[in-house]
Amino acid sequence: MRHAKSSWSDPKIADFDRPPNKRGRRDAPLMGQWIATHLPAPDRVVSSPARRARETAEAVVAALRRPPATIVWEPRLYAASRLPLLAVIREQPDSAGHVLLVAHNPGLTELANTLCNDSLENLPTAAIYSLNLPLDRWSKTCFGVGVRRAFVTPKQLQVDSQMP
């Protein structure tokens, strides 16, 4: 999952410290509710500690009614490219059957494309890209082994909810 839309209202705030904007605060719980309805609940949420990612992860975990301790703060996810993201995935405990990463672009888009041989141009803010890894250990994760399960954006859910 990419972090929710962030605020650029104060140019003095460092990138790491930018909070979600109004739309981001609306979209994060919406996406958490979608996960609760359509995907297995994550056993573990691994998030960038950047404020917009942190608040996104917290909102999703609250929507899933999971304990805050479900979240692991991983500094390497901040502004990471696909290789550091892959390294973090490979380090997950095998006891965690389902893991949710909350991180940043362009690394997440690159990761999705290379794990699943996909061709996304961009993973929008607060979007969920769910995939299956047909492996018995996280440490075996490598590019090209994933199978896309779902790709959902907040905009899609808002359009769907407005349909009669």
Give 66-78 pLDDT, tens digit per residue: 988 889 999 999 9
Q: What would the two tokens of residue 47 be?
A: 């998030």
Please, which residues have CB within 8 angstroms of residue 23's CB and are 6 or more apart in sequence? 4, 5, 154
CA–CA gap between residue 141 and residue 64 (Å, rounded)? 26
Q: Flag whether the pTM goes above 0.95.
A: no
109 neighbors 120 (Cβ within 8 angstroms): yes
Give 9-68 pLDDT, tens digit per residue: 888 999 999 999 999 999 999 999 999 999 999 999 999 999 999 999 999 999 999 988
Pairing state of beta strands 147-152 and 128-132? antiparallel
Q: Which domains does the chain have, with CATH numbers?
A: 15-162 (3.40.50.1240)
Give the chain's mean pLDDT.
Answer: 94
